[in-house]
Amino acid sequence: MNITVYLGANEGREPALKTAVRELGAWIGEHGHTLVYGGSRVGLMGAVAESALSAGGKVIGVEPQELQLDGLTELIVTEDMTDRKTKMIELGDAFIAFPGGTGTLEEIAEVMSKLALNQLDAPCIFYNLNGYYDYMKALLDHMIEMELSTKERQKKIYFANTLEEVAALLN
């Protein structure tokens, strides 16, 4: 399975982020999956890729810039960020939003839109480490309450608090 993971090039201030992202990368590699990610060698992006590679996994980096991690299984250089988002969705069989910034939010929002329009049929998982995405869950619930979205349009959107919950959603 190709698992597209959206996450930041920054490390953040919580050490638990780097630990959890390394565990996620290792799990992807150990289970014979392929990581699809933004291609960077820095921050959380670099950590997830390095751990997937170290665990014997394949890693596809999709990157429009020159900060690629050496040793990737495959590197796809795109024209710009729009092309990068499109390629990462094309390659993915499942999508995970690890805690990240506005770029992570933008990328996973496109996945959610495609799910809502039935242009994509894949799990979209918010890795809700330490409650990071609690407000996103509340916002999605609020959209349904306000009748601006429906449960049907959000049926493939999940929230997982641990790697075990992420893994269960992917199996």
pLDDT (average), residues 151-166: 97
Other C-beta atoms lying within 10 Å of the C-beta of residue 11: 16
C-alpha neighbours within 13 Å on the C-beta side of residue 125 = 26
Residues 6+ apart with CB under 8 A from 1: 33, 34, 93, 94, 170
Q: Is the pLDDT of residue 66 over 70?
A: no
The model's pTM is 0.94
The string of pLDDT tens digits covering residues 1-39 is: 999 999 988 999 999 999 999 999 999 999 999 999 998
Contact 154, 116 (CB under 8 A): yes
